[in-house]
């Protein structure tokens, strides 16, 4: 069966537009046209087209600039360049910018349709890639039925449809990027790019170019003009991960980008307008960083219009079975293995472990167990040594050292007392740090110490 789709022709010559539309319409394609670049961009923003034909010699605007704008707004859009005499060199430049192909304007009907069908195949591949990305996103979605996860999802649902900036705080491995992606996916910008940058992973002398772009020769090793993350995210969302590790100098430039809605490439004084929603994340206490002079207070207030706290896994242990089940599904399918299950004792050990690396550590442990376990039932012996060691930390109920817990309430109290003791010992009996590790308020921890009769040995 002949493949057909939808096509947009952007050309300032009426005869070319009519001919291209007629050829495609007779072959069963849905067609539309625009007489200049601005009209074409407007039409493309309002509707979906499988293939765009773009003339480089437009009257009101250079075709290369229009192509750049298309790449920013719809990175996966398939574009075929139309060229006249003397514009082949420009067509080659367009190919470097991501155009699928180019046609000189002495084309015939068959050549046009062959090019369109080939472009449609590329479009189908792009759609398949989007589907795979969506599947990957669903596999990594925020999971859990605990009150803390429900509270996060409620905050996401409220803030996502707006353009408000969000600061996501929490320990490493708690899923701050997942929260950012969830906000993007539920926003009006979901069809536009989600661009992320880890501010802690890029050297200070390079992060400015990564964020704002650079011109050729702007610094040693800059061999070509390049876009920055702000431009890549135009129309979409920019996620600044580990924002607390950004230098004060770069913070100043980020603040200006947020205030003015424009950026300058390194080595250039030309301003570029950008429409970007910025989400930021950190595992640091930015209030402390501001007090210490390591983070700009004005930038902090700009970023934290809506703060969201990503809870540590130890504070919502009831979600561990749900997370494990999802990870088992994902990794067994990914490695083409039969669906594995956990022995009840192994699950119990995983539920009692404190997970200092949070959900990321749990995910990695499940992947390791799926790959390394020889049987379809993961046994205690398949668990990591640190998880097995944590099982020895159970402590008898306060005041009854020789009696085992016989009710669910007593068992919960026994486990809670054991966790409190371990957190205190781990933090050398520093109450504030132990409370943070347990996910408790300091005053609540004091009440627990009194309840269980816990006191530091003299």
The pLDDT tens digits of the residues spanning 305-337 come to: 999 999 999 999 999 999 999 999 989 988 889
The answer to whether residues 98 and 46 belong to one domain is yes
The answer to whether residues 172 and 299 belong to one domain is yes
The answer to whether residues 144 and 227 belong to one domain is yes
The answer to whether residues 385 and 431 belong to one domain is no
Is 1 contained in some domain?
A: no
pLDDT of res. 402: 42
The pLDDT tens digits of the residues spanning 365-394 come to: 999 999 998 889 998 888 887 887 665 444
Residue 33: closest CA among 57, 50, 16, 46: 16
Is 134 contained in some domain?
A: no
Domain harbouring 35, CATH code = 3.40.50.2300
The answer to whether residues 160 and 305 belong to one domain is yes
Does 167 have pLDDT greater than 60?
yes
Domain boundary among 393, 410, 436: 393
Domain boundary among 393, 413, 440: 393
Tell me if 8 sits within 8 A of 49, measured CB to CB: yes
Supply φ then ψ for residue 408, to 5 degrees: -60, -40
Q: Mind spelling out the 3-state secondary structure of 137-182?
A: HHHCCCCCCCHHHHHHHHHHHHHCCCCCCEEEECCCCCCHHHHHHH
Full domain range(s) for residue 15:
6-129
Mean pLDDT of 13-18: 91
Total domains in the chain come to 4
Is 333 contained in some domain?
A: yes
Residue 262: closest CA among 251, 249, 275, 252: 275
Cα(409)–Cα(124) distance, integer angstroms: 57
- Its sign, for the CA torsion 149, 150, 152, 156, is positive
The pLDDT tens digits of the residues spanning 24-79 come to: 999 999 999 999 888 888 888 778 898 999 998 887 778 888 888 888 777 778 89
The answer to whether residues 162 and 305 belong to one domain is yes
The pLDDT tens digits of the residues spanning 288-308 come to: 999 999 999 999 999 999 999
**Does the pTM exceed 0.85?**
no
Domain harbouring 333, CATH code = 1.10.8.60
The answer to whether residues 164 and 205 belong to one domain is yes
């Amino acid at each position: 069966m002949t493949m057909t789709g939808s096509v947009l022709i952007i050309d300032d010559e009426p005869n070319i537009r009519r001919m291209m539309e007629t050829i495609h319409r007779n072959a069963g394609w849905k067609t539309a046209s625009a007489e200049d670049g601005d009209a074409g961009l407007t039409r493309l923003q309002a509707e979906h087209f499988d293939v765009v034909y773009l003339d480089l010699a437009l009257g009101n605007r250079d075709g290369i600039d229009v192509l750049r704008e298309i790449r920013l707004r719809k990175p996966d859009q398939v574009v075929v360049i139309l060229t006249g005499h003397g514009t082949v060199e420009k067509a080659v430049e367009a190919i470097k910018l991501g155009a699928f192909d180019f046609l000189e304007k002495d084309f015939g009907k068959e050549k046009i349709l062959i090019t369109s069908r080939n472009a449609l195949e590329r479009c189908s591949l792009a759609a398949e890639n989007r589907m795979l990305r969506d599947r990957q996103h669903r596999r990594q979605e925020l999971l859990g039925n605990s009150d803390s996860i429900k509270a996060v999802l409620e905050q996401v649902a409220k803030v996502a449809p707006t353009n408000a900036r969000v600061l996501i705080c929490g320990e490493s491995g708690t899923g701050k990027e997942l929260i950012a992606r969830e906000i993007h996916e539920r926003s009006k910008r979901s069809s536009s790019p989600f661009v992320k940058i880890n501010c802690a992973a890029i050297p200070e002398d390079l992060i400015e170019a990564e964020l704002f772009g650079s011109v050729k020769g702007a610094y040693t090793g800059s061999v070509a003009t390049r876009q920055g993350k702000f431009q890549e995210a135009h129309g979409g969302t920019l996620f600044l991960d580990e924002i607390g590790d950004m230098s004060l100098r770069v913070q100043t430039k980020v603040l200006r980008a947020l205030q003015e809605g424009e950026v300058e490439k390194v080595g250039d004084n030309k301003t570029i307008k950008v429409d970007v929603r910025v989400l930021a994340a950190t595992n640091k206490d930015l209030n402390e960083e501001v007090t210490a002079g390591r983070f700009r207070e004005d930038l902090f207030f700009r970023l934290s219009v809506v703060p969201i706290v990503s809870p540590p896994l130890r504070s919502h242990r009831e979600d561990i079975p749900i997370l494990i089940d999802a990870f088992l599904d994902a990794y067994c399918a990914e490695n083409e293995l039969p669906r594995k299950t956990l022995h009840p004792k192994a699950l119990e050990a995983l539920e009692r472990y404190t997970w200092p690396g949070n959900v990321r550590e749990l995910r990695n442990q499940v992947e390791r167990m799926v790959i390394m376990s020889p049987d379809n039932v993961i046994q205690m012996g398949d668990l990591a040594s640190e998880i097995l060691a944590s099982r020895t930390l159970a402590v008898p109920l306060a005041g009854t050292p020789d009696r085992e817990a016989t009710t669910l309430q007593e068992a919960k109290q026994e486990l809670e007392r054991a966790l409190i003791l371990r957190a205190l010992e781990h933090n050398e009996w520093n109450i504030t740090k132990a409370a943070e590790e347990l996910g408790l308020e300091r005053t609540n921890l004091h009440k627990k110490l009194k309840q269980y009769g816990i006191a530091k040995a003299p």
